[in-house]
Each structure stands twice: as structure tokens, then as C-alpha cells.
């Protein structure tokens, strides 16, 4: 059974890069979050080999209603494939979650140091995504925060239908206001939060 721990606040790791404050509104519908809002955050990072550090590529916060709507746009074929892929890699995720809850490691660094599905350290990833859930102005430690490495995103991309890839590309264009490059197609928003 997955336990749930609500933090006392939102760690600065999940703050907006632009404002260095918690996200205040949905990146899709622009609805402002309030104290009782439940929303999802995704941050995508790329390794800067020269500086030997991770740099933010893009980020967004999405309200529960928009996330549900986005989920509805994923093809049934992709939903089944994604579920099968996550189930095939769930042992590492469940072991990580169990350890972190059992040892009560509720600092963000303990949750975002390696891929939740493969165990690959983020420092070894060219790119990686981190997803979190916020409820009532606090970060939820449950099955999230979750880290998805470049290796696992590639596995996801291999099982997505063209229709779902197009949906994710449209979504990314909407939140970033830029056209995707070939390498960006690998890092479309992760279906893990939907």
C-alpha cells in the first residue's frame, strides 16, 4: 500500500523558475490556484555538461480539470501501452516509494535524485522530467514526486500512438509557445501526471 504524506509547504524545487515563487495559475486555462486547489507540476531539465549542472528546459503547472481533459485526449491504444510499460517497470518505483516512506525521507532531494522507473541517477541523464502534485498549497509525497529519465521517456515514446504524440506536441507548443525541434519530440510532457 502506498502511503501519503503532505508536506508543510511547497519546496522551492517546485517553484516557478521565472518568479521563484509557487505557481499561481494553470498553464493551460490560466485559472488561479487557491488554498484548496489540487494541481500538477512538471519540470523538464537538461544537463549542461560544461557547467556540470541541470538546467530547466521548460515547466508548467496544470489544474486537475485540465489534466483530466488532457488525459481524455490520449488514445486508448496509448493508455494501454503506457499502463503496460509502467507495470513492467513498477518494481523499482514501488521499492523506491516504500523505502522513502518507511525511512520518512521527505526532503525533495531524496525523491528527485534518480529515475523512479529505472533507477538511473539524474546526473547521468541528458534530460529528465520531474512531476509533483500539490494539494492545499502543500507538496504531496505519495507515488510522486516522480522522476522520468531520458531512457524511460524514450521507452514511452516508442509505445505512443501518432495521435497521442500529436496531442503532446500540441500541448507542449501551447505551454512553451515554440515549435518543437526533433530532440524536443523526445521530451513531450510525461504521461505520468495525466
Domain extent listing, the chain: 5-167
Report the predicted TM-score, pTM, of the whole model to 2 decimal places.
Answer: 0.85
Distance CA 70, CA 65 (A): 9
Amino acid 2: pLDDT: 66
- 97 by DSSP, 3-state: which? helix
Helix (H) or strand (E) holding 149: strand 146-149
pLDDT of residue 170: 77
Buried b (16+ CB within 10 A) or exposed e, 21-50: ebbeebbbeeeebeeebebbbbbbbbbeee
Determine the pLDDT at residue 185.
Answer: 40
Per-residue model confidence as pLDDT tens digits over 5-51 = 888 899 999 999 999 999 999 999 999 999 889 999 999 999 888 88
Whats the size of the chain, residue-wise?
194
pLDDT (tens digit per residue) in 80-111: 999 999 999 889 899 999 999 999 999 999 99
Amino acid at each position: 500500500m502506498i502511503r501519503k504524506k503532505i508536506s508543510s509547504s511547497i519546496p522551492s524545487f517546485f517553484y516557478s523558475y521565472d518568479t521563484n515563487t509557487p505557481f499561481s495559475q494553470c498553464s493551460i486555462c490560466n485559472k488561479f490556484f487557491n488554498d484548496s486547489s489540487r494541481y500538477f507540476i512538471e519540470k523538464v531539465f537538461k544537463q549542461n555538461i560544461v557547467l556540470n549542472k541541470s538546467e530547466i528546459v521548460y515547466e508548467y503547472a496544470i489544474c486537475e480539470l485540465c489534466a483530466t481533459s488532457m488525459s481524455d485526449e490520449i488514445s486508448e491504444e496509448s493508455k494501454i501501452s503506457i499502463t503496460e510499460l509502467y507495470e513492467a517497470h513498477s518494481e523499482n518505483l514501488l521499492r523506491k516509494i516504500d523505502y522513502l516512506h518507511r525511512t520518512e525521507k521527505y526532503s525533495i532531494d531524496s525523491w528527485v535524485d534518480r529515475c523512479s522507473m529505472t533507477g538511473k541517477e539524474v546526473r547521468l541523464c541528458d534530460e529528465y522530467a520531474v512531476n509533483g502534485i500539490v494539494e492545499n498549497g502543500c507538496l504531496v509525497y505519495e507515488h510522486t514526486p516522480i522522476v522520468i529519465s531520458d531512457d524511460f521517456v524514450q521507452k514511452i515514446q516508442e509505445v505512443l500512438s501518432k495521435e497521442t504524440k500529436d496531442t503532446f506536441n500540441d500541448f507542449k507548443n501551447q505551454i512553451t509557445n515554440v515549435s518543437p525541434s526533433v530532440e524536443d519530440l523526445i521530451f513531450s510532457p510525461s504521461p505520468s501526471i495525466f
